[in-house]
Structure 1
Amino acid sequence: MKLYEKWNKWKSRDKISGKNMQKKKLIDKNIIQKISIFFVLLTTITLVLSINFFPDKILLKESQICTKDILSPGDFEFVDVEATQNLREKAAKSIKEVYDLNLANIENVEKQIDNLFSKIKEYQEKANESSKDTTSPITENDRRLTDNELNKMANEINEDLGLSISEKVIAGCLQLDNLSLEKIRVDIKSSMRKIMEQGIKEDDLENAKKQLIREISEISLDHHDALIASEIATSLLLPSLFLNEEDTEKRRQEAIASVDDVIRTIRKGQIIIRKGEVISSEDIAILNALGLKNPKINFFNIVGIIMIAAICILVVFLYLNYFYPEIYENVNKLILLGIIAIFVVLLAKIASQASGYLMPIASASMLIAISLNPNIAILLTVILSLLIGFIPGGGINYILVSVISGIVAIYSIRKITQRSSLTRAGLIIAGVN
């Protein structure tokens, strides 16, 4: 009898352990299925929401013919570098060069004039001493000096002073008396200072020489003296203005800095380059500015979407586990919720190309409310509305409309009894949208 009881106990214990093992296997399988559903949902929703963060690379070069219309994928504001540069170059060119009066040049020229006439008088005195006649000037009529001797003296004067005045002119001066020489010297200095103080640029030197000749002619009484004075003056004339590069550059930089960046706005869907057009450098600059020529994947946005999607799915799972464990343990119902969520996000992505107000949240809310539970439908409505708000082109206004239309849809079918109720609910939702 005891053996029989022990046998029954052992057999019943074996059955219990077998059931526990079977139950454990079912639990493990259920967990794996839920984890699989979680990752499938996460992967699918992330791909749909982040597909726009993988832009197509536009392989175009300057002078090529565009084979299709290139549209802007979104609203962009960018600095038109070429237009900005052109405006800044124009502003810089509008600033005239700054010149300062070179007083040192004026003083140097006057000093050269004084040295020249002092030298001429010195040679006259030497010649007079050699002829032992200090009262008579050196003239051709006195026949004391030949032309060769006069030219030799003129050459020596040029070499001593480092000048390049015509020897004939200096020779003529050597034959003049002191009074005439002094008159010529004074005329040259006064005319020279007047012209140089007006400012002479290097490229205006020839015009200044002509003006100087006119000035000397007006103040000279003797035509012969005027010719000599003009020859000497034009030989010694120097530019009196020098370019102030530092001040000029400073003003140009100020002009450049005063030019604001040229901001261009490109709207979503706007044609950047039309089919059949030849690609210009400006087109390439726009493509580069918009990041379409060498697009970069924004991994931070993708990671952000993954995290938000994971949190949203996890919230739904925890909510179902805590408040509706019978649905949470039913894998088929979880799959149903997952399919609805994926289709809603996918259809919302497609509908957003036309209008964000066409996102099918309300239909999903009605379907979940009818097939499962209105409370679950409300949670899914809020979660899905939040997720589709991350679709490019979406916004807070679309999220609010989706939430409101979804809740109205759930409320409108709370006591559904026939098909006409669904029709009425559809009309109410249409009115809300």
Structure 2
Amino acid sequence: MPWQRLEWLMHPLLVRLGPKFLRSRVIWGMALFAVAVTITALDYLPQKLDLKVGQPSPQDFKAPQGIVYESEVLTQKAREEAARQVTPVYRVDSSVEAALTGQVDNIFQSLREINNSTSDSNERVARLKARLSHLKLTAPTLQALAAADATTLNNLAGITRNIVNQVMGEAVPQDAVNIARDKMLAAVETAGIETRYKPVVAAIIQQLELKPNLIYDVAATMQKREKAAAEVSPVQVTIRQNEKIVSDGELVTAEDIEALQKLGLLRSGASWGALFGLVFFQALLVALLLLYLRFFKPGIYNSNQLLLLLGLLWLIFLVFSRGVAAISLGSRAEFTRLVGYLMPVAAGSMLVAILLDAQVAVIFTFFLALEAGIIGGNLYQFTAMGAASGLVGIYCVTHLSQRSDLARSSLFLMLANLLSVVALGLMLKSTLSQLSIAAVLALANGLLSTVLTIGFLPFLENSFGITTAVKLLELSNPNHPLLKRLLLEAPGTYHHSILVGNLAEAAADAVGADSLLARVGAYYHDIGKLKRPYFFIENQVTAENPHDRLAPTLSTLIISCHVKDGLEMAREYRLPRVIQDIIAQHHGASLMTYFYHKARESGRGDSVSEDDFRYEGPIPRSKEAAIVMLADSVEAGIRSLPKPTPGRMEGFVRKIIREKLEDGQLEASDLTFRELAVIAKAFMRVLNGIFHTRVEYPEVVLKEMERRKSRNGVLHKQSAG
């Protein structure tokens, strides 16, 4: 199950760190995330439209890039037009025809009843006249009707119904009612009715209550219109780069506002879906970064301090990027959008590479590049340039040898940014003016990133106690107060430290350790000797050795105290923790063999314990500290060799390394046997350079060299005169 997998991954960390640690990192993490999302989401917060339909545009708007989108405004207009083109639906109401035939049947039924009621012809005429008074029939017509039998009346009724059905069976709209009546009257003349009965049928038709049978079908018409609107395909709008959307002073339409919104030139009200998507994407980026640190950089992941540093760098970048995004480059929106090229992704990349790790800096670069694209209006060109700029920045600071390298990195950044902008401009078909402005911004980006890196680096170093290559380079300066004191008060120790630094640097470089840290650590490893410089043989200018008058135990105490004194001086001068570790560990728990054997020879014999003549430790816990220990022992001992030939020196170096290994001084340093062999070879390369064989020139050659030197000096004076 996923939750069980997560618990399995997190359980060892929970047990090791404890609840208090997790609470603090969760609280700080949530606070940093909330602030970062707020900064990033400013474009998604509710705000008024910059333009309204029917108002004049305050500026020219051109498309900064090409885009194809489905226009809701135009699609709605097309659907409304399709609905208007639909012919209204009418239907024939059969009840109108039925009502008319019912009227005819009622009239003829009355006629049949009157004719059947009496045999008196005059009485039938009188009753018919009264019943059909509204028909205004003549006397002959009434007499003919009174004389009609039932069959005749039934025939007349059938003919009349047929005439009505024939005419009203068709659609009769409101304006065709009179026409329909005329058709019925015309049909009477051709229906085969006896002449004497035609006036009766015509009068009945004339008095019928005709109504239109064609009525408007609202439901069917609406259904037909909806179907027509639904069949309209969404309208695709294609806008090309630099195409003018609306001109300055031109009345803005709904289509213009929609196009500007799609291009990101206008920001509408809050889109909660987009806001949720942004928060989710930010959480995804942070989770991926933390997972990378969890599995590949556990040292950083387990440090609240370093995680806080990454979070602060993230916030600093977002603040600067938001400020950059607020810059306006005049009234033309397509130029203002180009300020995204000024977002200093490389500054964050270089700071992480210097303060933490180059591999973490690569991941962090893509993290910041995506943020730049989001803040810049979800445009990929800002992400692309940010990634390229950040990677070049990491390359520039990976192997810092002096502070001026940081300043020179701005040139590489400016060149990389310029090439990136030109390539992206060609891809996006930018105009010459747009390309020129983007190039200027790209060059400024390189300079800005370097300035921010140099400005923030000391602050972050001191605030988080991180020792960077730049800090180590500053400490390696001979003008540092401690090194100047060492040169003046303990010159022998100073010279020894310089040689140890050369040995340690070569060895560390050979095994892939931090060579700069090893060299600087070697410079300061013996600063404790400043307290009592003349108790150490390299600083003794006379043949008198003060230890000759001291007991071995006291001499051991004095010698071993230079480690503790060195740590106190390192803290006083605020040397970094890694340098303090090398000072504390450069002797480990080694045995001071000279004083130990001197004590045994003094007559106490087996009562002398080795533990009383060992340094307090701890033993080296890093490769750099172990290398400084070996270099210190090799440099101090090599001077005791009567004739340091390459063979003797190599044997001595391997003997020193073997003794330290057998004494257990290298157990915590992670150095392998192969690396120890490599270290020995590196030591030999440096020692052979120091103790190389010198050519003994014959006396005749020396005299000739001296004569030429004098002659060159005279010629130089003559030419100068």
- Distance of 1:117 and 1:355 partners within structure 2: 99
Q: How does 1:301-316 map to 2 (within 5 A)?
A: 301=277, 303-304=279-280, 307=283
What residue number does 1:431 align with? 419
Corresponding residue to 2:227 among 252, 257, 274: 257
Separation (CA, whole Å) in 2 of partners of 1:327 and 1:294: 39
2:37 corresponds, among 46, 50, 54, to 46
Matches within 5 A, 1:387-398: 387-391=371-375, 393-394=377-378
- Residue 411 in 1 paired to residue 395 in 2? yes
Distance 2:50 2:317 in 1: 37
Question: Structure 2 matches for 1:210-221, cutoff 5 A?
Answer: 210-219=182-191
* Paired position in structure 1 for 2:162: 193
2:377 is the alignment partner of 1:402: no
The letter for the 1-side match of 2:219 is: E
Per-residue displacement from partner, 1:320-367 (whole Å, max 9, x unpaired)?
882599995899x88994686345543674589327666442454346
What CA distance in whole angstroms lies between the structure 1 residues aligned with 2:104 and 2:246?
68
Change in 2 beyond 3 A, CA 1:362/1:235 = same
Once the two structures are superposed, what CA deviation does each residue of 1:268-314 show, in whole Å capped at 9, x if it has no partner?
Answer: 9996898574999x999999xx9988646666356546745765887
Change (3 A) 1:125 1:197: same
Please say if residues 52 and 392 of structure 1, whose CA atoms lie closer than 8 Å, have aligned partners that are also in contact: no
Counterpart for residue 112 of structure 1: 106
- Equivalent residue for 2:129, pick from 154, 157, 164: 154
CA distance in 1, matches of 2:397, 2:164: 101
The one-letter code of the counterpart of 1:173 is: T
TM-score by length of 1: 0.58
Separation of aligned partners in 2, 1:312 and 1:270: 41
CA distance in 2, matches of 1:89, 1:326: 66
- Residue 108 of structure 1 aligns to a residue in which SS? helix
Report how far residue 169 of structure 1 moved: 0.9
Deviation of 1:191 (Å): 5.5
1:404 Cα deviation after fit: 4.4
8 Å CA contact retained: 1:312, 1:383? no
* 338 and 242 in structure 1: CA distance in 2 versus 1, 3 angstrom threshold: closer
- Cα 1:388/1:175, change in 2 over 3 Å: same
Give the counterpart letter for 1:259 in structure 2.
Answer: A
Equivalent position SS for 1:57: coil
Q: Which runs of 5+ in 1 are unaligned?
A: 1-32, 131-137, 139-148, 159-163
Q: 1:242 to 1:220 in 2, by over 3 A?
A: same
1:165 partner letter: H
Alignment of 1:22-33 (within 5 A): none
Residues 172, 60 of structure 1: alpha-carbon distance in 2 compared, 3 angstrom cutoff: farther
Q: Does 1:206 align with 2:201?
A: no
Q: Hey, what does 2:89 align to over in structure 1?
A: 96
Offset of 1:185 from its aligned partner?
7.2
- How many residues are paired up? 369
- Cα root mean square deviation, aligned: 5.9
Q: TM-score, normalised to structure 2's length? A: 0.39
2:142 aligns with one of 157, 174, 178 = 174
Q: Distance in 2 between matches of 1:428 and 1:294?
A: 38
Who is 2:205 aligned against?
233
Taking the aligned partners of 2:213 and 2:200, their CA distance within structure 1 comes to: 26
SS at match of 1:402: helix
Which residue of structure 2 lines up, in the alignment, with residue 322 of structure 1?
299
The 8 Å contact of residues 48 and 345 in structure 1, kept in 2 or not, is answered as no
Cα distance 1:313–1:41, how it changes in 2: closer, same or farther (>3 A)? farther
CA distance in 1, matches of 2:392, 2:364: 14
Displacement of 1:49 in angstroms is: 0.8
Q: 1 or 2 for the larger relative contact order (CA 8 Å, sep ≥6)?
A: 1
3-state SS of paired residue (1:112): helix
Label 1:243 to 1:233 Cα distance change in 2 as closer, same or farther (>3 A): same
Partner of 1:15: none
Matched residue of 1:98: which SS? Answer: strand
Q: 2:362 corresponds to which residue?
A: 378
1:97 offset after TM fit, Å?
A: 0.8
Instruction: Check the 8 A contact 1:70/1:274 in 2, yes or no.
Output: yes
The one-letter code of the counterpart of 2:87 is S
The answer on whether the counterparts of 1:368 and 1:377 sit within 8 Å (CA) in structure 2 is: yes
1:350-389 mapped onto 2 (5 Å cutoff): 353-354=337-338, 359-362=343-346, 364-366=348-350, 369=353, 374-389=358-373
Cα distance in 1, alignment partners of residues 203 and 306 from structure 2: 116
Match of 1:346 in 2: 322
Task: Please say which of residues 350-359 and 43-52 is displaced more in the overlay.
Answer: 350-359
Q: How many Å separate the matches in 2 of 1:285 and 1:224?
A: 78
Secondary structure of the equivalent of 1:56? coil
CA distance in 2: counterparts of 1:335 and 1:208, whole angstroms:
88
- Shift in Å, 1:213: 1.6
Q: After superposition, what is the alpha-carbon deviation per residue over 1:183-208, rounded to whole angstroms, capped at 9, x for unaligned?
A: 79746743651452242537333211
Residues 346, 390 of structure 2: 8 Å contact kept? yes
Find the aligned partners of 1:227 and 1:345 in 2 and give their Cα distance.
99
How far did residue 379 of structure 1 move? Answer: 3.8
* % identity of equivalent residues: 17
Instruction: Give 1:122 shift.
Output: 3.8
C-alpha distance in 2, partners of 1:154/1:118?
14
Distance 1:406 1:202, change over 3 A: closer
Q: 2:388·2:416 contact (CA, 8 Å) conserved in 1?
A: no
Q: Higher mean Cα deviation, 173-182 or 200-209?
A: 173-182
The residue aligned with 2:276 is 300
Q: Aligned partner of 1:98: which letter? A: R
Q: Is the 8 A contact 1:109 1:236 kept in 2?
A: yes
The change in CA–CA distance for 1:431 and 1:89 in structure 2 (over 3 A counts) is: closer
| Residue 229 (structure 1) shift | 3.1
Residue 202 of structure 2 aligns with an amino acid whose one-letter code is: S
